[in-house]
Structure 1
Amino acid sequence: MSKTLQAIRGMNDILPGQTPVWRYLETSFARLLDQYGYSEIRLPILEFTELFARGIGEGTDVVDKEMYSFLDRNQESLTLRPEGTAGCVRAVLEHGLTGGGQVQKLWYAGPMFRYEKPQKGRYRQFHQMGVEVFNQPGPDIDAELIILTARLWKALGVSEAVSLQLNSLGSSEARARYRDALVAYLQQHFDQLDEDSQRRLTSNPLRILDSKNAQTQSLLVEAPTLFEYLDEESKAHFEGLKARLDAVGIAYEINPKLVRGLDYYGRTVFEWVTDKLGAQGTVCAGGRYDGLITQFGGKPTPGVGFAMGVERLVLLLETLDCVPKSLTPAPHAYLCAFGEPAEQAALKLAEELRNSLPNVRLLVNLGGGSFKSQFKKADKSGANYALILGEDELAKQVIGLKPLRNDEPQQLVAWADLAQQMADYLN
């Protein structure tokens, strides 16, 4: 017996009963970005592996353990994108979108891929909505990104369930000095570190700061802090960001252990977190990456952005019962037709009705059936009205209009008057 076909573990179907909330979330995000003057960019799912190795950083968990990479027929290494920033930076650099100091405010959405242990809110194919801004060096754009995400939480009704965490990673020179100090401290306690942290000590020591191991966290209490090594320019930038958030009334918590998992971040990093989803608490995260375009061979170009996980936000909306009830509205009418001539006329009538009333939700019965079976389908559809077209109605060029949600009697409406009659009902 052949093996039953099924989806790859951690790569899930999004079924018709689930897609309305996805579309609601994606539409809300796109509408918000339109309000703030951002433009959509659509990026390839596949990139050369080198892009992520150079951009995300050798030694990160993403590059070392989580990427889906393979050799194509030309023996070139390709990777399913694990995140969106590196591809967006590649695109603006390749097409000269930031040349001459051009400001670009971009957004994107789509699937990402990481080989992780699947669990609730964390999958191997997951979806992100992200924003990237180029050639805006000041703290004002950092503040705008945080402000617009706060506006999205309010629009979705989840503001009370999320909180903002901030940190500054300083300049690359400041991080290098801090890295040396942190490594020197942790080497004194090497045997007490968990296995992951021991490995990271030589590859990516800053990631030890957000270790989930309780014993490692207890060691970090006495460790040097990044704030002690921040350069003055980064301190001023961070103070400017905090002042702007204070001015608009956005609350935040300074988290000195917030470092993010990707090497390209510097200065501002932030996360919106929730305690409503168990272990998967981060719903949106980002920060500055002013040196990333230089890493890809471009001229120094300031950059900042964020990404949010669609699966986690959908889960949060459902957990908090914030999914609007009207996402899948019932059809306005269900058109029943009896006999071949009536069925042909029904299709023509339906298209005329859709032309006259672009917002009408109209279902046409397909596959024939008795009067009883078609009426049963009309009622099950949730439609407010049944439109009835049989031999007698066809001969007289009228149609029966029967309310399904009250006891009002059926009436006959001339074909020429149907659009106006329906418009009156819709209003």
Structure 2
Amino acid sequence: MASLHPHNGTTNTDSKPKPKPEPITESEIRSEFSHHDPTIARINNGSFGCCPATIIAAQNRHQLLFLRQPDHFYFNTLKPSILRTRRLIQTLINADHLDEVSIVDNATTAAAIVLQNITWSFFTSIFNPGDAALILHYAYGAVKKSVQAYITRAGGHVIEVHLPFPVRSSSDIVFEFQKALHMGKANGRKIRLAVIDHITSMPCVIIPVKELVRMCRDEGVDRIFIDGAHAIGNIDIDVKDIGADFYTSNLHKWLFCPPSAAFLYCKMSDELSNLHHPVVSHEYGNGLAMESAWIGTRDYSAQLVLPEVMEFVERFDGGIEGIMKRNHEKVVEMAEMLVEAWVTELGAPPEMCASLAMVGLPVCLGIKSDGDALRLRKHLRECFKVEVPIYYRAPVEGEVGSIITGYARISHQVYNVVEDYYRFRDAVNKLVKDGFTCALLTK
């Protein structure tokens, strides 16, 4: 992730350089997140992210400015404020042009923008009936359903890349993706779109996107969309180096913005002028960035606080890069502690974990379905005050012996403490000691 300084001809005239802020203390971190339920061991930052009190206060200031004099806010404040956010994102992701960056509600909205454009290519016969879109089997559920809804209704075909889990190395993913590309092109079919997660949601693993994008280019895939919903604030993003046509990430998952805010990067090309926000409002036809900046009267404050967020992260040693490094190191340390305690395994090697890790649960818990995973998650929340997603991994044909079918997806963010993970460890140990199985939970 690039440092926050103007580049590529973009001049930041919004603010003068500020003195380096005072380093944040442990007590200040606790204060920033004191609105979290103190009774819960929250090791699930991955689902909804987190927002410090400082940023909540900044959001409230934006909200009150709008409510105080809406007309002035709309005509004089909103557009310059969104422009500041776009400039910061441009620098963070190393985009060449400001026009390549639009601010949207979330990654699902970004997917709708891209897929709507792909649909029109089918309707206008640029693409042919039966042409395909490629998506990972482990793609986020909402995005997977979006691909099905848009592509199949337009007459296209959807191909799912079945990835192995547990994952032993990135080469496992590359192999399966290459195989799917070749199968997808069988019988003369063309692959028009590839949707690739940068970090899959469940099970979570870092995908070697740069290599997969290069493979797509070599195989003639028309357009490539990277769903990096979990990425910004979690791993480095360099959209020029990745080389995809589209890239999206949520600002509210790992970059401390309130929900909901995200960006959509669209590589500069003739196609950029054909992209439109699904909500048609007064800015229609003025470019995607302008269309996205006004979709009617709503609360835009979550999209305006990124300057305050960057001031917040600069209080940590190493800034956002330091936060990412420490989160990764700590989540791996905690994951290995849990694996040792339960005599299980990680779902992916440490280098393929960002600030999230998949940890195998004891086989004796009897996790035999997605329903079991949900019920166990609820049981941990209600009886042990632990919030953590549980993943059911169905046995693969031919597997024998005691197969791990349940994995916990743990997260680490700056508010987490080691006691959160000890509570989870001890809760599972108690379940095992008591002879608990998921079959005992009421269905």
For this structure pair, what is the TM-score category when the shorter chain's length is used for normalisation?
under 0.3
If asked which structure has higher relative contact order (CA below 8 Å, sep 6+), I would say 2
TM-score, reference length from structure 1: 0.25
Select the structure of larger CA radius of gyration: 1
TM-score, reference length from structure 2: 0.24
Larger relative strand fraction: 1
